[in-house]
């Protein structure tokens, strides 16, 4: 029995090694190319990090377009995360703690909302944004992003609220707390892991989103970072090394967030995905 089990473990390690290489190679290639010059890529097309230099990163931080789009992405992602968390907590609390007619129907509509592919809605949402004069503005993108992240955040947080003991809020209400006070001081501290997970996922989704930012915000002053990276490619030139330097810097906030909050993300997805 020991020999077959050892073979199984060895096979698992081999499989995981291939998965790891397959997953990390694009990251390695991005970082490696970002430290090379454009001419070096053609003169010495090597997979190994050769002819390394930092002039691409110097060009990145000297670019007004990069700094402007970086600021826009930070504003949009941060506001979307904070406001989305607020609405998600209130909605999840309403769908689990409160009792009212149509609650189950509302929950099903929320599930349908976050399961609907965003690519199917960008034309009508772009028309609505244009009709409300929200095109070429940060607030327009924030409102659109909220329509996608709030249903997902609500669904994940419902699992946390359903795992709480109902008597906790009742005891707070008996002591004279209002519903909002009981929610803020009693229930919210118990769902912090879920809120951190939802916040990281919301920030990541807003930070990486391209389609709506590309369609709705055509003004260069309100472009986000993904659009700025896309615009580096022209019909005449594709500065691959500069694009990779942009992409490396753009990925750093997300890498840091996931590294810091990885424990909360796993716990949040495991708890939030299981009802009851």
The pLDDT of residue 218 is 84
> In sequence order, what E strands does the chain have?
none
If you ran DSSP here, which 8-state letter would residue 79 be given? H
Q: Is the pLDDT of residue 275 over 50?
A: no
Q: What is the chain's mean pLDDT, rounded?
A: 85
> Among the listed ranges 63-72, 197-206, 236-245, which one has the minimum average pLDDT value?
236-245
Q: What are the residue boundaries of the structural domains of the chain, listed by start?
A: 63-272
Q: How far, in Å, CA of 71 to CA of 82, rounded?
A: 17
User: Topology of domain 63-272, per CATH?
Assistant: MetI-like fold (1.10.3720)
- The CA R_g of the chain, rounded to the nearest whole Å, is 23
Q: How far, in Å, CA of 231 to CA of 110, rounded?
A: 35
Q: Using an 8 Å Cβ cutoff, are 209 and 227 in contact? A: no
Spell out the residues 6+ positions from residue 54 whose beta carbon is closer than 8 angstroms to its own: 35
């Amino acid at each position: 029995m020991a020999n077959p089990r050892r073979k199984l473990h060895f096979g698992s390690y081999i499989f995981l090694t291939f998965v790891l290489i397959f997953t990390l190679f694009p990251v390695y290639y991005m970082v490696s190319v970002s430290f090379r010059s454009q001419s070096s890529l053609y003169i010495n097309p090597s997979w190994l990090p050769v002819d390394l230099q930092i002039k691409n990163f110097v060009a990145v931080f000297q670019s007004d377009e990069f700094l402007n789009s970086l600021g826009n992405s930070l504003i949009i992602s941060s506001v979307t995360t904070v406001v989305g968390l607020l609405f998600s907590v209130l909605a999840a609390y309403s769908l689990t703690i409160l009792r009212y007619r149509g609650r189950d129907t509302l929950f099903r509509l929320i599930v349908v909302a976050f399961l609907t592919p965003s690519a199917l809605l960008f034309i009508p949402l772009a028309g609505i944004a244009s009709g409300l004069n929200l095109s070429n503005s940060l607030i327009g993108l924030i409102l659109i992003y909220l329509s996608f992240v709030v249903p997902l955040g609500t669904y994940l947080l419902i699992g946390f609220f359903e795992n709480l003991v109902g008597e906790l809020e009742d005891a707070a209400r008996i002591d004279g707390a209002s519903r909002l006070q009981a929610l803020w001081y009693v229930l919210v501290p118990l769902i912090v892991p879920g809120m951190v997970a939802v916040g990281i996922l919301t920030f990541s989704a807003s930070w990486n989103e391209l389609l709506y930012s590309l369609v709705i915000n055509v003004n260069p002053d309100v472009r986000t970072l993904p659009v700025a990276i896309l615009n580096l490619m022209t019909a005449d030139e594709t500065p691959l090394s500069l694009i990779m330097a942009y992409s490396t810097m753009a990925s750093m906030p997300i890498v840091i967030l996931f590294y810091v909050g990885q424990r909360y993300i796993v716990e949040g997805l495991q708890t939030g995905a299981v009802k009851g």
